[in-house]
Amino acid sequence: MSDTDFSHDSPKGPKGKLITGHSKEFISDTLGFLTHLAKEYGDVAKIRFGPFQNVYFISNPDLIKQVLVTKQKSFLKSKDFHALKPLLGEGLLTSEKEIHMRQRRLIQPAFKKSHISNYAQDMIDITMNYISTWKNREERIMTEDMMSLALGIISKTMFSMDLKEGYDELGEPIEASMRIAVKRMRTLLQLPLWVPTKNNREFKNSIQRLDTVIYSFIEKRRADAERHEDMLGILMEARDDEDGLAMTNQQVRDELMTIFLAGHETTANVLSWTLYLLSQHPDVETKLFNEIDSVIGNRNPTPGDYMKLTYTQNIIMESMRIYPPGYIVSRKAEEDVVIGGYHFKKGDMILLSQYVMHHKPEYFDNPDSFNPERFENNFVKTLPQFAYFPFGGGARVCIGNHFAMMEAVLVLACIAQRYRIRLAPDHHEVKPLPSITLRPKRGLRMIVEDRKESFREPLVDE
């Protein structure tokens, strides 16, 4: 039976305020509000942002599949993403249609499973180097550590850029510009960038700082006669199928900025959440240590360990279930469309939420408990598609999904080989903050303890 063969009543939802609709509830408690909508109103709930924007929250895996896969051509990314345009331009995350398809074709080969194993050694080296400076019983701001580490990994693997002390040059302005982009996303009335508000000035200033670093990096590479096989090399050598033209500096800059942003914040959050969850679940931590000790022991971790670390992989999957860094996906209908018998109009906004789906008891027993074992025996394959979808799906599925999995597993393995990580004793209550990604609110302060004295000696290669 096709969608047009039957018709549902119009979806129901809570009564909203005349002017603001449900914007306030959504902004003040995004996760709680969406969870409530799914519980109270079922597969499709209707709300409103502002006086006119109809919004439908879909929480059924088959309907999610239709939005992301079967009928994806009827949707564009929603206007939230426009708030990121000054930062990301026409890069992969924000572009649409032909530009998006062309860029995706171009960039995809660098993320093939077969290709990303080449990055594993860099991931290990950068991590081992980074964590070797940690002192026994030292307190660290782990959320910042994971951001710097992930930024270092993405810069080196994608652009052969050694960040070392360069975190301030890139990390700090990326962080500042994202903070303001989120504010822009969440205000009903976005003032154009030329209006000299404090936020606009700060936003433009951080983008300018990023541009200075990135353009000078591109110029340096253009002047370099040597051929590079990294992402920057791929972007610079690419020629358009039709006009044979190379990408302009602006296009290369947009892709670079996109990969920097999309490729570090998400993985950093997975790692921070995982370390937090482990600190709260010593039984899981012990099993992790056992796996690390039996697979890696006292030698340096190697790329080949990745496939053998199955329990570590399950820990990462379970961490992304409980705290999915990409916790929400939004789309805008580009034409009238019927999904599962519900009629949506051109201009309607559709919201999907990994967070809500990943906490549904019909798919996950005791959804709030941290239980990596549930991912054993190909558990994901037994679920309806899109009950678990940390990387989105369809034409716009995360291009870095295999890269991110490998990175998270290897970084966690390197850390767990050496350290036991505890939450600082006087820590504030840990809560998720739904920003562009789902991050721990006010960060995480953690104590790093040596697991074994012997790791203070240089490790040996096998």
Of 146 and 329, which CB lies nearer to ligand HEM in the complex structure?
Answer: 329
54 belongs to the binding site for ligand HEM (CB under 6 A)? no
Rounded Cα gap, residues 86 and 356, in angstroms? 30
Rounded Cα gap, residues 429 and 442, in angstroms? 9
Q: Using CB under 6 A, which of 171, 173, 301, 326 touches ligand HEM?
A: 326
Residues 333 and 347 sit within 8 Å (Cβ to Cβ): yes
Structure tokens that stand for 98 in this block: 């032909």
Binding residues for ligand HEM restricted to 125-164, rule: CB under 6 A: 154
Of 206 and 354, which CB lies nearer to ligand HEM in the complex structure?
Answer: 354
State residue 135 phi and psi, 5-degree precision: -105, 150
16 belongs to the binding site for ligand HEM (CB under 6 A)? no
> Which window, 141-149, 240-248, 332-340, 386-394, contacts ligand HEM (CB under 6 A)?
386-394
Radius of gyration in angstroms for the set of CA atoms belonging to the chain, rounded to a whole number: 23
Structure tokens that stand for 219 in this block: 């110029």
Site string for ligand HEM, 333-372 (x = CB under 6 A): ----------------------------------------
> Which window, 32-40, 324-332, 343-351, 374-382, contacts ligand HEM (CB under 6 A)?
324-332
Least Å distance, CB 407 to ligand HEM, is 7
Of 92 and 180, which CB lies nearer to ligand HEM in the complex structure?
Answer: 92
Rounded Cα gap, residues 79 and 84, in angstroms? 10
Q: Using CB under 6 A, which of 181, 403, 415, 444 touches ligand HEM?
A: 403
Of 193 and 383, which CB lies nearer to ligand HEM in the complex structure?
Answer: 383
Q: Using CB under 6 A, which of 31, 262, 277, 278 touches ligand HEM?
A: 262
Local structure of residue 67 (DSSP, 8 states): I
- Taking CA 400 as the corner, what is the angle to CA 234 and CA 259, rounded to the nearest 5 degrees? 55
Local structure of residue 424 (DSSP, 8 states): -
Of 103 and 177, which CB lies nearer to ligand HEM in the complex structure?
Answer: 103
Which residue has 């949506």 as its token pair? 344
Rounded Cα gap, residues 104 and 259, in angstroms? 12
301 belongs to the binding site for ligand HEM (CB under 6 A)? no
- Taking CA 141 as the corner, what is the angle to CA 303 and CA 273, rounded to the nearest 5 degrees? 55
> Which window, 14-22, 276-284, 305-313, 387-395, contacts ligand HEM (CB under 6 A)?
387-395
Of 45 and 320, which CB lies nearer to ligand HEM in the complex structure?
Answer: 320
Which residue has 């002047």 as its token pair? 223
Q: Which residue is nearest to ligand HEM (CB)?
A: 400
Of 130 and 159, which CB lies nearer to ligand HEM in the complex structure?
Answer: 159
Least Å distance, CB 367 to ligand HEM, is 18
- Biggest CA–CA distance in the chain, Å, is 70
271 belongs to the binding site for ligand HEM (CB under 6 A)? no
Least Å distance, CB 44 to ligand HEM, is 19
Of 154 and 446, which CB lies nearer to ligand HEM in the complex structure?
Answer: 154
329 belongs to the binding site for ligand HEM (CB under 6 A)? yes
256 belongs to the binding site for ligand HEM (CB under 6 A)? no
**CB atoms < 10 A from the CB of 198, how many?**
8
**How far is the CA of 373 from the CAs of 253, 312, 314, 376, in angstroms?**
42, 10, 7, 5
Least Å distance, CB 34 to ligand HEM, is 15
What is the DSSP pairing of strand 349-352 with strand 53-58?
A: parallel
Least Å distance, CB 84 to ligand HEM, is 11
Residues 425 and 171 sit within 8 Å (Cβ to Cβ): no
Q: Which residues of 51-84 are buried (b: 16+ CB within 10 A; e: fewer)?
A: eebbbbbbbbbebbbbbbeebbebbebbebbebb
Of 170, 268, 258, nearest to 217 by C-alpha is: 170
Q: Using CB under 6 A, which of 258, 272, 312, 353 touches ligand HEM?
A: 258
Residues that bind ligand HEM (CB under 6 A): 77, 92-93, 104, 154, 258-259, 262-263, 266-267, 270, 325-326, 329, 390-392, 396, 398-400, 403-404
